Amino acid sequence: MRKEGPKENSIRRMASNINGLINPETKTENSKDTLRRLWTYLGRKNTKLFLVFILVVLSTLLGLAGPYLIGLAIDSIKLGQASINFTRLRNLIFLMTATYLLSTFLTWLQMYIMIDISQKTIRNIRRDIFEKLQSLPLSFFELKTHGELMSRLTNDVENINHSLTQSTIQLFTSIITILGVAVIIFIINPILALLSLITIPIGIIITKIISNRTRNYFSEQQTELGNLNGHIEENITGLKVIKAFAQEEKSIEKFNEINIRLRKSSVRAQIYSGIILPLVNISNNLSFAIVAIVGGVMGARGVITIGTIAMFLSYSRIFTRPITEIANQYNMVQSAIAGAERVFEIIDETSEKDLKEGLVELDKVNGEIIFKNVNFAYKDEEIVLENINFIVKPGQKIALVGETGAGKTTIVNLLMRFYDLHSGEILIDGCNINKITRKNLRNNISMVLQDNYLFAGTIMENIRYGKLDATDEEVRKAAKLANAHLFILKLTEGYDTLVTEGGNSLSQGERQLLSIARAILAKASILILDEATSSVDTRTEIKIQQAMNTLMRDKTSLIIAHRLSTIKDADQILIINDGKIAEKGTHQQLLQQKGLYYSLYYSQISNRVS
């Protein structure tokens, strides 16, 4: 399947950004939808969230009581008079201390509860995205790098987590503070209150204009971060190939290109978002200056007391602080929205879905396989398989032979329902595989992949992956059948030997043997060997072949092989050429036809002799 190149990716990103600038309402709607979905996740903890809201209100109101008490304390000191009401002053100081301490405790408590809410919310988001990844078809992963997916599962989710923990409480607090202060200052002095509010529209307009652009840049930043992670993951996985071809400099060059793009997008995002705070501060300072000047004039004329002026200036500063905080948190929210959109893109992907009605689960599979007029293409590309017809009787061994890209692996992928047919049908024991649940279908098929993968863990655990409830003795028996037992015993810890992710600490042949042992342990009625002996030496191949011959006596087996000498005893050999069955028959029958199989077979013999 054709993948987008760097140039096409760049054009697509540019078009997306231009569309966002030309049609900001589209981006706004997307932002609202994303926020609604995040709120849905938060809403599952609505009782605790309501408690947080109550605590925010209480702690904020207690905090707002401080300047009022300070004003009363100042007025209790009769300037120009010898007498001071120390009892009243002491009581006010005690009340201020208690108020601030209680407000601090409630602030800590709301943060404690909010952390619990956000962590459980993030856990649910991580769970949903991971479960979605498990349910997606192989075609999805063929278009994404592992590192890019990891970036969405880690960096983007953590970005959401940080925003939920910090921004939610801060936004609640800021809104309550603005409303609370607005009420208080209007009660104290309506004229000064109106003067304080003059510059608010300026801050709102500034934030609105700049934020429309910053979200595009934050989205681009997250995308480039995913690209960088993808490149790093790819290079770590393919490090041996990079070194073998001395391409370290080329790899570093590509890394630097992506890193520079990430730096540029990050700088744009931070610069544009950073403009908001100083501009809002200018607006807030202007408001404070106006209040200070007018309040001073009113105080000089005796319209208001000194305590009232001090009180009002404190509230004026408190009033502008949450406006600044909202502007600051808005940037964080924009970054979180960009990350959330990337997360929800995966969650919204179409899963491998079974039909809700008419599904069956096969209790016992005899192993008959029928391909009827099967046609398949990867999306809109050219036909990969055309009019494939063959029958495999229970217990038969069928070999698929052909050049690379002929369609051999696609045939077994269709049998496993990694992909769905375009037309035709595949039957197992007379039942259409589309009417069998995917889990039941795959439980009845053991598959040894061309690229064998071992998980980080012990050898015992890796073999047991074929049957999780298998006993240690069953695992050892499977290893013996796969001729893996002896080499396992030679390892330092035997079956308890730890292998690294991918099994890089073992040879290719050893990994192949362990994968075959895993398939043997599964005890499925149908066996698929996809290039099972293509990556091992002749001695190991003989060991595998002996084990396979024993294993395949009672099983229906489909074998994909390059070494034609290993399939001479197959009940039927299918020659796949350009997505069609060009020839079929036994080894002897195909040699007598002197067609493609004949040419391939004697070509391999000549190469071996040479």
- Structure-token pair, residue 325: 């905080």
Q: Are residues 390 and 501 in the same domain?
A: no
One domain, residues 71 and 185: yes
Q: Are 556 and 412 in contact (CB under 8 A)?
A: no
Is residue 553 within 8 Å of residue 578, measured between CB atoms? no
Total count of domains within the chain? 3
Band of the pLDDT at 81, cuts 50, 70, 90? low
For the chain, how far is it from start to end, CA to CA, in angstroms?
37
Q: Are residues 136 and 265 in the same domain?
A: yes
CA angle 16, 22, 26 (to 5 degrees): 70
Distance of CA 430 to the CA centre of its chain: 39
Can you give the pLDDT at residue 601?
Answer: 86
- CATH number of the domain where residue 52 is located: 1.20.1560.10
The CA-based angle 535-541-547, given to 5 degrees, is 125
Of 555, 504, 502, 566, nearest to 533 (Cα)? 566
**What pLDDT is recorded for position 380?**
67
Judge whether 452 lies within some domain: yes
**CB hemisphere CA count around 96 (13 angstroms):** 15
Per DSSP, the three-state class of 140 is helix
Q: Which helix (H) or strand (E) holds 581?
A: strand 580-585
**Range scoring the smallest mean pLDDT among 80-89, 245-254, 384-393:** 80-89
Is the same domain home to 46 and 100? yes
Q: Tell me the pLDDT band of 375, cut-offs 50, 70 and 90.
A: very high
CATH number of the domain encompassing residue 401: 3.40.50.300
- DSSP annotation of 423 reads E
| pLDDT value of position 605 | 76
Q: Is position 352 within any domain? A: no
Per-residue pLDDT, 415: 93
Q: Which of 313, 347, 381 is the last residue of a domain?
A: 347
User: Quick one: pLDDT at residue 532?
Assistant: 57
Assigned token pair, 502: 């991918």
Cα 514 versus chain centre, distance: 30
Q: CA quadruple 270, 271, 277, 278: dihedral positive or negative? A: positive
- Residues in CB range of 535: below 8 A, 6 or more apart: 508, 509, 512
**Residue 80: pLDDT above 70?**
no
Please answer whether residues 376 and 409 qualify as being in contact, where contact means their C-beta atoms are separated by less than 8 angstroms.
no
Tell me the two tokens of residue 585. Answer: 């028959």
Q: Is the pLDDT of residue 2 over 60?
A: no
Q: Count CB neighbours of 478 within 10 A.
A: 27
Q: Is residue 358 part of a domain?
A: no
How far is the C-alpha of 274 from the C-alpha of 295, rounded, in Å? 32
Q: Are residues 241 and 270 in the same domain?
A: yes
Q: CA–CA separation, 404 vs 478, rounded Å? A: 31
pLDDT at 481 over 50: yes
Identify whether 309 is part of a domain: yes
Say whether both 47 and 111 belong to one domain. Answer: yes
Between strands 457-458 and 498-499, the pairing is antiparallel
pLDDT of residue 146: 77
- Domain co-membership, 206 together with 287: yes
The DSSP H or E segment spanning 575 is strand 572-577
| Three-state DSSP state, 442 | helix
Report if residue 25 sits inside a domain: no
Instruction: Please tell me whether residues 195 and 82 are part of one structural domain.
Output: yes
The pLDDT, as a whole number, for residue 355 is 58
pLDDT of 45? 64
Q: Are 16 and 223 in contact (CB under 8 A)?
A: no
User: Which DSSP string corresponds to 261-306?
Assistant: HHHHHHHHHHHHHHHHHHHHHHHHHHHHHHHHHHHHHHHHTTSS-H
**Tens-place pLDDT, residues 554-604:** 889 999 877 787 788 899 999 999 899 999 999 999 999 998 998 888 887
SS3 label, residue 504: coil
Q: Report the C-alpha gap between 31 and 37 in whole angstroms.
A: 10
In whole numbers, what is the pLDDT of the chain averaged over residues?
80
Please state, in angstroms and rounded to a whole number, the distance separating the CA atoms of residues 157 and 129. Answer: 10
Q: Which domain holds residue 88?
A: 31-347
Residue type, 550: T
- The per-residue pLDDT for 533 is 59
In angstroms, rounded to a whole number, what is the distance separating the alpha carbons of residues 605 and 610?
9
Most trustworthy range by pLDDT among 313-317, 478-482, 535-539: 478-482
By the 10 Å C-beta count (0-12 exposed, 13-18 middle, 19+ buried), 375 is classed as middle
Residue 23 scores a pLDDT above 80: no
Specify if 477 maps to a domain. yes
Same domain (yes/no): 386, 238: no
Mean pLDDT across 527-537: 69
What's the rounded Cα separation, in Å, for the pair 484 and 507? 12
- Identify whether 26 is part of a domain: no
Q: Is the pTM of this model over 0.75?
A: no
Which pLDDT score is estimated for 556? Answer: 92
Choosing from 316, 347, 378, the residue where a domain stops is 347
Q: Max alpha carbon distance in the chain (Å)? A: 126
Highest mean pLDDT among 143-157, 227-241, 418-432: 418-432
Chain centroid to Cα 339, Å, comes to: 10
Distances from the Cα of 268 to the Cα of 215, 219, 262, 274, angstroms: 11, 11, 10, 10
Averaged pLDDT, 441-457: 82
Read off the tokens for 225.
């971060």
Q: Note whether 306 and 269 are same-domain residues.
A: yes
Q: Are residues 100 and 206 in the same domain?
A: yes
The pLDDT of residue 6 is 39
Domain membership flag for residue 23: no
pLDDT at 587: 92
DSSP codes joined into one string, 206-254: HHHHHHHHHHHHHHHHHHHHHHHHHHHHHHHHTHHHHHHTT-HHHHHHH
Pair (254, 372) in one structural domain:
no
β partners of residue 448 = 529
